[in-house]
Amino acid sequence: MEPRIPELGRFAEPALLILVSLSDGPKHGYAIMADVEAGTGRPLGPGTLYAALARLEERGLIEALAPVDRRRPYRLTATGATLLAEQLRELSEFADLGLRRLGRTPG
């Protein structure tokens, strides 16, 4: 059975944000952190970032590439990309449901 992001517990949200950040190509740790913070306006601490990265790597959702100047980029694996797409689709369906109940057409 494929791992699911909700099983990452407290790190589910940072993990999802990291996967989205990696969806347009490999990034190293600081670039992921800066990207997530710029996109959400919320801080992502370095301890939380690496706790989530370790869990994602452990579950085979991301993989590390060869380091460049001590910076190691990460990229999505095929499993990670599938899981991310599924997770985002579920979120989108949930958002659509909420919008319909509010009487607003999903955009």
Partner 1 sequence: MIGRLIRLYPAHWRARYGDEFAVVLEERPLGPFDVADVLLGALDAHLHLRGLGAASQHGKGFAMSLRIGGYAAIAGGALWFVALAGNAINDGADSGSSVLGITLVTAIVVATAATLVALVGLSAFQSRRHPVLTWTAFAIPAIGAVVGLLGVVAMAVAGDTDTTFIGGLSAWAVSTIGVTALILGSALFAVATWLSGSLSRAAAALLFVGALLVVPAIGGVTGGLVPPVLGYLALVTAILAFPIGWIALGVSALRIDGPRPITLEGAPL
81 residue type, one letter: A
Q: For residues 58 and 18, is the Cβ–Cβ distance under 8 A?
A: no
The residue count for binding partner 1 (CB under 8 A) is 40
Q: CB-based contacts of 57: which residues, under 8 Å, 6+ apart?
A: 63, 64, 74
User: Per CB under 8 A, which of residues 75..104 are in contact with partner 1?
Assistant: 88
45 binds partner 1 (CB under 8 A): yes
Query: Is residue 61 near partner 1 by the rule CB under 8 A?
Result: no
Displacement of CA 16 from its chain's centroid (Å): 3
- Contacts with partner 1 by CB under 8 A lie at 7-12, 14, 17, 20-21, 23-24, 28-30, 33, 35-36, 38-43, 45-51, 53-55, 58, 67, 70-72, 88
